[in-house]
Structure 1
Amino acid sequence: MRKRIYWLLPDLKSARATMDDLLLAHIEERHIHFVAREGTDMRGLHAANVLQTSDVVRSAEIGLLVGAGLGGLLGALVAVFYPIGGDEAQLGLVVPGLAIFGALFGIWTSSMIGISTPSKRLQRFAAQIERGQVLLMVDVSMWRVESIEKRLQALHPEAHLEGTEPDIPAFP
């Protein structure tokens, strides 16, 4: 289980030094994510990707639930009012089929919307990022959170700890 630690760094020089210190602390590069103002030269940093900076994951989860629910409901209505063979409702075939189709369609459409929506988790940092600060998100084992926080506080007094996210998504 991992937790995400948020840090605000004043500039790119500090961000690059922090990246080096995290690598020396044996944090894999794939668990380190930086967000900066658009157009910033992120050379030497592991920039956050669309999974970290957009609402695509949350939107896909909502699309899955809504799509499956509506698909199952539509499947039940179709099975009852328009039976495929004879007068018996074919609930066992139509309901799961339309629920699966609805879930897949819901994931697809919701993720298309979510990919263009900024992450709700990062909204609180938008003003600082626009002023030129750099956001660091580092995903660490729950057992190492305290030691990594202490290490960064000692090595980078210019950085500000902005908190820990208790439940990061499994894959971004």
Structure 2
Amino acid sequence: MRHRLYYFLPDINSARRAFDNMLLSRIEQKHISFISSATPLPHDLPEANFLVKTDVLHGAVAGMIIGAILGAAFGALLINYYEVGPATVLVTTLMGILFGGWASSMAAAAMPNSQLKKFMPELERGKILMIAHIPSRRVEEIEKMLAERHPEIRFSGEEPHIPVFP
């Protein structure tokens, strides 16, 4: 499991130095990203991807749950009113999961990530947000390294138990 750490940086130069120190600490580039709303990020700093910036994953999960419930209910209604087998419930539930996940993720793709809302005031003031996915066993080491080498960085939060794959 990984922890997602959030840090605010005052400017591009500070972001570059922090990024370099993370790489030197053997945190892979794919696990570090930046968000800036006031100034565009240079090409050498990895910008946060679509999954981090939007609520697609949260929307897909919610849609799948609701789709499963509605699909199972629809399947049960079909069994009660028509002469169909019990496998109908399984089929309609799977169809509900697929359709609910797809439809909800499409709607959520247009919405900013609800986890990032608390950071918007600082981003609008020109700060740069660094998001790092750190292995659980190395969180203290990385926090200490950043605090020692970058007094200008402000720790802004942590989310534990992020799956390894994103």
TM-score if structure 1 supplies the norm length? 0.92
How far did residue 38 of structure 1 move? 6.0
Equivalent residues of 2:12, 2:128 under 8 A apart: yes
Q: Which residue, 93, 97, 116 being the options, matches 1:99? A: 93
Q: Relative to structure 1, is the Cα distance of residues 17 and 56 closer, same or farther in structure 2, using a 3 angstrom cutoff?
A: same
Match in the other structure for 2:32 = 32
1:116 equivalenced with 2:119 (yes/no): no
Distance 2:128 2:61 in 1: 29
Q: Percent identity?
A: 40
Unaligned runs of 5+ residues in structure 1 are 85-89
Which secondary structure does the structure 2 equivalent of 1:161 belong to?
strand
Unaligned runs of 5+ residues in structure 2 are none
- 1:10-159 matches, within 5 Å, as 10-37=10-37, 40-84=40-84, 90-91=85-86, 93-159=87-153
For 2:117, give the aligned amino acid.
Q
Equivalent residues of 2:71, 2:97 under 8 A apart: yes
For 1:13, give the aligned amino acid.
N
Which secondary structure does the structure 1 equivalent of 2:116 belong to?
helix
Structure number, greater radius of gyration: 1
Which secondary structure does the structure 2 equivalent of 1:37 belong to?
coil
Distance 2:164 2:43 in 1: 26
Which secondary structure does the structure 1 equivalent of 2:112 belong to?
coil
TM-score if structure 2 supplies the norm length? 0.96
Which secondary structure does the structure 1 equivalent of 2:111 belong to?
coil
How far did residue 170 of structure 1 move? 4.5
Distance 1:133 1:118 in 2: 18
Distance 2:153 2:116 in 1: 17
Distance 2:80 2:149 in 1: 67
Distance 2:78 2:164 in 1: 36
Match in the other structure for 2:4 = 4
For 2:144, give the aligned amino acid.
K
